[in-house]
Amino acid sequence: MRLIDVQDLKKHYSSGMINKQYTRAVDGVSFFIDKGETLGLVGESGCGKTTVGRLLLRLIEPTSGKIVFDGVDITGLGRKEMRKMRPRMQMIFQDPESSLNPKMRIGESIAEPFRLGLHGRMGKAEIKERVLELVDIVGLNPEHVNRFPYQLSGGQNQRVVLARILAINPEFIVADEPTASLDVSVQAQILRLIMDLKKDFGLTMLFISHDQEVVRHMSDRIAMMDRGKIKRIESAKRA
Amino acid sequence: MLLLDIIHLKTQFPTQDGMVKAVDTVDLQIAEGERIGLIGETGCGKTVLGMSIVRLLQPSTTIEGRILYRGRDILQLDEEEMRRLRGKEISMILQNPTTSLNPVLKIGDQIAEAIQLHQKLGKREAKSKAVEMLESVNIPDAQRRADQYPHELSGGMKERVMIAMGLACDPSFIVADEPTKGLDAKTKMQIVDLLREATAHKSLLIITHDLGVAEAICDRIAVMYAGELLEDASSRLILEEPIHPYMQGFINSLPSKGLMPIPGTSPSLIAPPHGCRFHPRCSRAMKICERRHPEMVEVERGHYVRCLLCA
């Protein structure tokens, strides 16, 4: 079953007024991701891989092409319809510190999806219980709940980001270099955690990284990107 | 010939929560022409160790111990003497070129500044030497690039500028702090090649958490954890036959070596664990590790380890 189907996706940027110059950040890419599958997307910096991730969630608008999510062409959806779609697709960014509100305690950040009523009305006690449950799942301690992002390490903050994503309970996740700012041993911890969560929650994922080894560990299939185009897609299993 | 001899170095700085013992009794010898990698994770004190050598630390920092450069204790030098040494004899390639370069000065002028200061050259001569330096770090079209501002350069280019600046006065000893941080794989390899060639006849301390980078450039690798050195040996031994459980765990956590994480998190440098600093996370910890602080011992020729399993 396909969850994501991308057809001839393009994103061109223009700069200058008289001498207009065009940058083809994404220049016609097509791929699909099955339900429960992880597709790795590798390439050097500037090849357009992050742009593809953002296009998939419609954080930016494509120049042309089609993105079908669970049978619905989301490129044609209006603001309101897209809003309903958003909780089903989420993104993990490279820098956890800038993904979290610095003025919100960790617990408040994780509780936000519940407070917004994403899963129906919930009482304070129920929200607190759910937050503690998620904190435990991502390997943090209850004492972290009352801290601010600056009081935690990069690895711990990335765990907070994961807990908040799980609170939303999405089906599809775009992970854009989620460990690029972390140390090797912390990177291993976070990647293991993402693998476990993916399995336990049956998630589908686009995993973006410039690190071939990391992508190989995380993915079922790997798409190689270069200068806005996907050069080839292959199985991640080593020959 | 010994070029730099670090003896019982202790660097601490005060914070609201207490004294941070960032470097806690480190001994490290660097010979003339030797290139050493200082490996360790964020917050283990490796940058503070580098900064201690060039003495670029906050005034509130206290440094104890000795750092002998060609037999002379640089910790005893006054500011003026240190200024004459810094950049000319010992230079530092700072991390994060984006924040280390002055955003409102042309890069050629920034490199020329150091040259003018140390080599008594005129403005014009210093500028043309700066262009030469840019050429030597393989920046194409150096003449034009010298008149550009940092924001007009890519990350890899900016790192090259930092290296050109560090090499500008032909120092004998260079500290390079995370020179490949934030660069993609291809650019990283180019910077590694450049550093290896540019420092071929110099002494280098390269601070990094990237083992591959250290291996490609260095003869020797020293491993730092919670303010102290845990293992020190030739690059080959550290990579192929690491002895300290921390180093073994570090290598196993690499994506190419199985991605097996070390449990737990790095300890606080304000109140580091008693006994062996790694024991709370160590899979082979014994009862005694909680109490006894291990000393560095030579387990085989040139291979030093701080672990009670080897004592």
Nearest to B259 among A153, A191, A210 (CB): A191
pLDDT at B254: 93
pLDDT digits (tens, 9 = 90+) for A32-51: 999 999 999 999 888 999 99
pLDDT at A238: 63
pLDDT at B259: 92
Q: Which residues of B are less than 8 Å from A212 in CB distance?
A: 185
For residues B9 and A87, give the distance between their C-alpha atoms in angstroms, rounded to a whole number: 53
pLDDT digits (tens, 9 = 90+) for B69-112: 999 999 999 999 999 999 899 999 998 888 899 999 999 999 99
Structure tokens at B63: 């440094």
Q: Cβ-count burial of A180 within 10 angstroms (0-12 exposed, 13-18 middle, 19+ buried)?
A: middle
Is A185–B41 a contact, with Cβ atoms under 8 angstroms apart? Answer: yes
Nearest to A44 among B185, B254, B261 (CB): B185
| Residue A230: strand pairing partners | A225
Is A156–B185 a contact, with Cβ atoms under 8 angstroms apart? Answer: no
Contact A105, A157 (CB under 8 A): no
For residues B174 and A190, give the distance between their C-alpha atoms in angstroms, rounded to a whole number: 34
Give one DSSP letter per residue of A8-28, joined into a string: EEEEEEEE-SSS-EEEEEEEE
Instruction: Kindly tell me if the per-residue pLDDT of A71 is higher than 50.
Output: yes
pLDDT digits (tens, 9 = 90+) for B61-70: 999 999 999 9
Instruction: Kindly tell me if the per-residue pLDDT of A18 is higher than 80.
Output: no
- In this predicted complex, what is the ipTM? 0.79
Which whole number is the average pLDDT over A166-186?
92
Is B184–A45 a contact, with Cβ atoms under 8 angstroms apart? Answer: yes
| Residue A170: strand pairing partners | none
pLDDT at B34: 97
pLDDT digits (tens, 9 = 90+) for B37-59: 999 988 899 999 999 999 999 89
Q: Which residues of A are less than 8 Å from B42 in CB distance?
A: 153-154, 183
The rounded mean pLDDT for chain A is 92
pLDDT at A112: 94
Instruction: Kindly tell me if the per-residue pLDDT of A237 is higher than 90.
Output: no
pLDDT at B57: 93
Pick the residue from chain A with its C-alpha nearest to B155.
A45
pLDDT at B187: 87
Residues A32-68 as b or e (16 or more Cβ within 10 Å = b): ebeeebbbbbbbebebbbbbbbbbbbbeeebbebebb
Between residues A219 and A21, the one the model is more confident about: A219
Which whole number is the average pLDDT over B149-162?
92
The rounded mean pLDDT for chain B is 94
Q: Cβ-count burial of B283 within 10 angstroms (0-12 exposed, 13-18 middle, 19+ buried)?
A: exposed
Is A212–B259 a contact, with Cβ atoms under 8 angstroms apart? Answer: no
Half-sphere exposure of B165 (CA within 13 A, CB side): 26
- Domains annotated on chain B, with CATH: 2-89+171-310 (3.40.50.300)
Instruction: Kindly tell me if the per-residue pLDDT of A239 is higher than 70.
Output: no
Half-sphere exposure of B33 (CA within 13 A, CB side): 3
Q: Choose the weakest-confidence range: A13-22, B109-118, B219-228, B242-251.
A: A13-22
For residues B295 and B311, give the distance between their C-alpha atoms in angstroms, rounded to a whole number: 8
Contact B134, B108 (CB under 8 A): yes
For residues B251 and B223, give the distance between their C-alpha atoms in angstroms, rounded to a whole number: 12
Q: Is the dihedral of CA B264, B270, B272, B274 positive or negative?
A: negative
Distance from CA of B101 to the nearest CA of A (A): 21
A interface with B, Cβ–Cβ below 8 Å: 44-45, 153-156, 183-189, 191-192, 210-214, 216-217
Pick the residue from chain B with its C-alpha nearest to A141.
B264
Contact B44, B209 (CB under 8 A): no
For residues B193 and B199, give the distance between their C-alpha atoms in angstroms, rounded to a whole number: 10
Instruction: Kindly tell me if the per-residue pLDDT of A52 is higher than 60.
Output: yes
E-strand stretches of B183-266: 203-208, 220-225, 228-234
Which whole number is the average pLDDT over B181-194?
88
For A56, A121, A128, A142, A163, the CA distances from A125, given in Å and listed in that order, are: 36, 12, 5, 15, 18
Q: What is the DSSP code (8-state) at residue A239?
A: -
Nearest to B249 among A154, A185, A213 (CB): A185
| pLDDT > 70 in chain B, percent | 100
Euclidean distance between the first and final Cα of chain B, in Å?
30
Which whole number is the average pLDDT over B142-164?
93
A175 by DSSP, 3-state: which?
A: strand
pLDDT digits (tens, 9 = 90+) for A123-158: 999 999 999 999 999 999 898 999 999 888 888 999
Residue type, A49: K
Contacting residues for A41 by C-beta, under 8 A, at least 6 apart = A49, A52, A53, A206, A207, A208, A209, A215, A222, A223, A225
Query: Counting one residue from A and one from B, how many pairs have CB atoms under 8 Å apart?
Result: 61
